[in-house]
Structure 1
C-alpha cells in the first residue's frame, strides 16, 4: 500500500510497497490506432484466467457484445461508432476522416468471408474473383459495411474507434488504500492484484476505483479484475491478451520503455495529420501518478468512456484522518474539562 506521503508526488510503487531490489515496473501500452476490434484479447484473457463466459447477448446499440469491464470481462474491446458530425463537421461531410488511421485493410480472403448478406441466394463470391477486381467491400456483419474497410477506397464520413480497455494498475491505487483484508496487494512488478481467496466481498474497492474497473461477481460477491497475468509474467511470459493481439495494439514490457515507444508513435501519427491523437494515463504527474496500463487515443478520453482527469479517490485520506484525530482530541479535552468543572 502506498504510504500517505507518496500520494502527492512521483512514486515507484514496488519499492514503496516494501520490495527490495524490485525488478523494473511492467505494464501495458495499448495503441488504439491499430486495434481492429477482433476481441482476441478478450478470449485469451478468459481462457488463461478461467473466467466464466459472459456477454453472449448483443446490446442492441453496437456490435460490441460485452459492453464494459466486469468481474467476468477483464479485457473489453469497445466499439465507438463515430460519424463525422461528432467531430464538429456536418453529417456525411466528404473527406472528414480522410487520411486518418482506420486499421489495416482486409485481405481478399477476409473480404470473401464477409461478402455474403442475408439477401444472397446461398452462393458466395469466389476469392479469386474478389482478388481480381479488388473492389469488394469487407462486410463486418451480414448486410453491413465496416467503415474504412473497403478494398478500393475507405469511407471518409464515418469511422469506428476501437479500444481494448483494461485495469490501469494505478501508481496510486485507491483500491489498495481501502481494502480491509489485504486481498488487494502490490506485486514486485508494480501491478495490482486481487487475491480471491482473501477477498471478503465488502465491495469497498469498487467505488474507490476512479476508472470503474473493479466489479463484484454476483455468484459470490467477491471482487475481480485484471491481474496483468501475474502468474505468467513471474515466469517471464507475456500476458495472454498481448500474446494474442494480432496487430500489436496491446504491447507489454518495461513501463519506461513503453512510454518512450508511445511518445515516438504519437509523434509519427501527428506528423501524418492525426492531430487529435494523444496519450492517456502515461503522465506520472496526473491525478493517479500515472498508470501501469496506458493508451494512445485518437479522440477525447470521454469518447472512449474514460474520465478526462482521473484522481485517486483516497488522496484526501491523510487530511481526513488528521482532522478526525484533532476532533477526537478536542472531544476528549472538552469531556475532561467538563468533569473537572463539576468536581470543583
Structure 2
C-alpha cells in the first residue's frame, strides 16, 4: 500500500481551528476546561483530549507592526519514528498507510514514547494510556481522508500520497519542513519563515540515548547473553560430565 500523509501550507491557514473541532468530533474527545493565558491559543497544549492544536505565533514586523503565523501541531508520523522504536509493548506501530497507529489496549504507560519523540507529541490519559493523532488511520483504511483535512475551510491541509505531496511542497519554492527529517515526516509543512519561528526544531532527531540503547547496546547485550548461554552449554557438554565422572572414579 502506498504511503499517505498531509501537506500543511501555513500561508493558507487562518487560525479558524476547524481542524481542531473536526478532530475532536471524529475521535469523540471530551471538551477541556481551560483558562485565559493571555494567548489566543486554546487549549494551551496537546492532551489526551486534543490531538491537533493550532499555534498562534505573533511576529513583530517593522512596517506593519505585528504579523501572525499559524501552525497545526500534531503527530508528525515519521518514517523512522522514535516512539515505535522504544515502545516495549507494541502499542505504537507503523500502519500500512504510513501512519503511526495506536493500540491503547497494549499501552503500559511507560512514557518511553514521549521521551523518544523529537516533537514532544505523545500525551497520556488519566488511566495512563498513550493518546495522539493517528492520521485518522481508520478513515484512511476505509477510503476517506482524515477529519482535519476534510474540515479545513481554507484548504491549508491537503491529504494524499506522500510522494506527490513532497513534490508539491518542494515546488512551492518555500521551506518544505519534514522532507529530509527522520526518513521524511508524514506531515509536511510549507513554512514562510524559519522553523524556529514556528516552534519547530530545525534539525529534529531521535535522542542519542534512544539510538545507543536500541541500535547498539541492546543488540550487543543480547548477543552477549546468547553467547554466555552457548558457552555454558558447551562447558557442560565438554567438561562438566567428565569432571563428574572423574570425581566418582576417585
TM-score > 0.5, shorter chain as reference: yes
4+ residue runs of structure 1 moved beyond 3 angstroms? 322-333
Deviation of the 1:325 alpha carbon: 5.0
Query: How far apart are the structure 2 equivalents of 1:293 and 1:318?
Result: 25
Aligned match of 2:145: 238
* 28, 52, 60: which one aligns with 2:30: 52
1:37 and 2:15 equivalent? yes
Matches for 1:1-344 after TM superposition, within 5 Å: 23-54=1-32, 56-60=34-38, 62-84=39-61, 93-94=62-63, 156-217=64-125, 219-265=126-172, 267=173, 277-283=174-180, 286=181, 288-313=182-207, 314-316=210-212, 317-325=214-222
Give TM-score scaled by structure 2 length: 0.84
Work out whether residues 82 and 160 of structure 1, in 8 Å CA contact, stay in contact via their aligned partners in 2: yes
Which ranges in structure 2 are unaligned for 5 or more consecutive residues? 232-238, 244-250
Deviation of the 1:319 alpha carbon: 1.6
Which ranges in structure 1 are unaligned for 5 or more consecutive residues? 1-22, 85-92, 95-155, 268-276, 334-339
Cα distance per residue 1:52-76 (max 9 Å; x no partner): 212532222x111112322221111
Query: How far apart are the structure 2 equivalents of 1:235 and 1:30?
Result: 22
Query: How far apart are the structure 1 equivalents of 2:48 and 2:129?
Result: 9
Deviation of the 1:323 alpha carbon: 4.3
Say which SS state the counterpart of residue 243 (structure 1) adopts. helix
Query: How far apart are the structure 1 equivalents of 2:177 and 2:111?
Result: 27
Question: Which is strand-richer, 1 or 2?
Answer: 2
Instruction: Indicate the larger mover: 248-257 or 188-197.
Output: 188-197
Q: RMSD over aligned Cα, in angstroms?
A: 2.3
Work out whether residues 172 and 312 of structure 1, in 8 Å CA contact, stay in contact via their aligned partners in 2: no
Give TM-score scaled by structure 1 length: 0.62
